[in-house]
Amino acid sequence: MKAFRKAIVITLAALYVGSIFFLGWLDDYYYRTRPRQPDQASGRVFPEDVKGTVGVARVYLTRTEIFPFRYAEYFLIGFFAAAALLGYHWKILGNARENTPKKLY
């Protein structure tokens, strides 16, 4: 049971870190591929400032494309809080003082 709980906490922590990397990649991808002016025909009318490897630009995205940017902070807070609270409640990491060597003098 302890291994299953540890796997859950590690999975939540990995989702947190993976989401940060995914958002960084998505920023750069949209920076390189999305229009800098609104395009009514394709539905890219929602402005978003994204960062690329070269700089920052305002691009226009569809409603679906802008979803990760609008709600990313809630997902990140949720993953982090769930991992931290479950890890603390289930005592996944244990007591750090128990693992330190004793003084010899």
Looking at the 3D structure of the chain, how many domains does it have?
A: 1
* pLDDT at residue 75 in the model: 96
Residues in the chain: 105
Closest by CA to 81, choosing from 30, 68, 73, is 73
In a domain, 9, yes or no: yes
In a domain, 98, yes or no: no
In a domain, 13, yes or no: yes
Q: Are 92 and 82 in contact (CB under 8 A)?
A: no
In a domain, 40, yes or no: yes
Closest by CA to 16, choosing from 74, 64, 63, 89, is 74
Closest by CA to 20, choosing from 65, 67, 80, is 80
The 10s digit of each residue's pLDDT in 10-40 is 999 999 999 999 999 999 999 999 999 999 9
In a domain, 31, yes or no: yes
* pLDDT at residue 98 in the model: 64
Q: Are 48 and 66 in contact (CB under 8 A)?
A: yes
Distance CA 27, CA 51 (A): 6
Domain residue limits at 89: 2-93
In a domain, 104, yes or no: no
* pLDDT at residue 100 in the model: 63
In a domain, 8, yes or no: yes
Q: Are 88 and 96 in contact (CB under 8 A)?
A: no
The 10s digit of each residue's pLDDT in 68-104 is 999 999 999 999 999 999 999 998 876 656 656 667 6
In a domain, 99, yes or no: no
